[in-house]
Amino acid sequence: MGLFDFQLDLFQVKKEERKKIASSEFSTKSLVSFRYNPRLRKSIRCSYKGLFGHPEVTLPSYMKGEEFLLAREIVAEWALCANKRKTENNKKQIKELLDRFWGVVDQVLADQGQKTLDSRGRFPPIQPKGTYYDLDQVLAAVNETYFSGELECRITWSRRFGGLSFHSIRKDPITEEPVHVISISRGYDTANCPLYAIAGVVYHECLHIKIPVEQKNGRRVVHGREFKRCEKKYIFYDEWMHWHKTVLPKNLRAYRSKK
Ligand SMILES: [Zn+2]
């Protein structure tokens, strides 16, 4: 117990540092080291080395790239948490960090045009009815106004509150036909979310169906020039962007600290 408490104190000194990590600008490499294993796909491992138990996290090799920087920072925070005494609070935090981590990994894979981990072999549950908004209604309005009602897709709230908004192509379990599926972050299903904000994010995801990913010098451009030009056609673009940047992060933070 003695050594463990000592270790805990050491990490508490680093509390400020961890806050910076959470805001995603700080590299965590000094505290947490990463290894990569090509045989891993949907799992990660953590071991604690040396006198102070510095965490070493083993990740699937595909997470080596720059796109996974945010995911790696979240997982580093998780590794620090997982090494602490398992209080109720700590257990919740560990679960929350893992949820966020896999959510971000899914987002990167979706942006890369790869199958998301969630989608392997199964179709996601489609839940358009939220507490405050029915996504089917929002989608119908956006589709009618901006796409002459021609878009064909399914829409659902993200399964996790901290989930992100993204578009992916899945295989319909019955017809085996490819289906566009839009998932919207539950951070938008709140009393303080105005209709223009939810419609803005739905419009953005709809545009991904209309404007597929471009290939430029072997790189995938997800939000290219044409995409951005069309995105600004949304009549409340500025208002939505403002809400997205200022209120949404607050909603997510408030939810996390409540848990
Ligand atoms: Zn996008």
Residue 216 CA: distances (Å) to CA of 1, 17, 66, 151, 219 = 56, 38, 18, 26, 5
Q: How far is the CA of 222 from the centre of ligand 1 (A)?
A: 7
User: Band of the pLDDT at 117, cuts 50, 70, 90?
Assistant: low
How much of the chain, in percent, has pLDDT values that exceed 70? 84
**Higher-confidence position of 185 and 171:** 185
Give the Å distance between the CA of 71 and the centre of ligand 1. Answer: 18
CA-CA distances (angstroms) from residue 159 to 48, 162, 230? 32, 9, 29
Gap from CA of 208 to ligand 1 centroid (Å): 7
| Angle, CA of 105, 108 and 114, to the nearest 5° | 100
How many Å apart are CA 79 and CA 73, to the nearest integer? 10
What domains lie within the chain, and their CATH numbers?
Answer: 2-111 (no CATH), 121-258 (3.30.2010.10)
Over residues 187-233, the pLDDT tens digits come to 999 999 999 999 999 999 999 999 988 888 777 888 999 999 999 99
Q: Report how far ligand 1's centroid is from the alpha carbon of 115 (Å).
A: 16
Are 9 and 1 a contacting pair, CB within 8 Å? no
CA distance 15 to 56: 19
* Residue 189 contacts residue 245 (beta carbons within 8 Å): no
Q: What is the pLDDT of residues 154-173, one digit of tens each?
A: 999 987 777 788 888 887 77
Residue 241: which pLDDT band, with cuts at 50, 70 and 90?
A: very high
Q: In which band, very low, low, confident or very high, does the pLDDT at 128 lie, cut at 50, 70 and 90?
A: very high
Q: What is the pLDDT of residues 69-88, one digit of tens each?
A: 889 988 888 888 887 888 88
Neighbours of 100 (CB within 10 A): 22
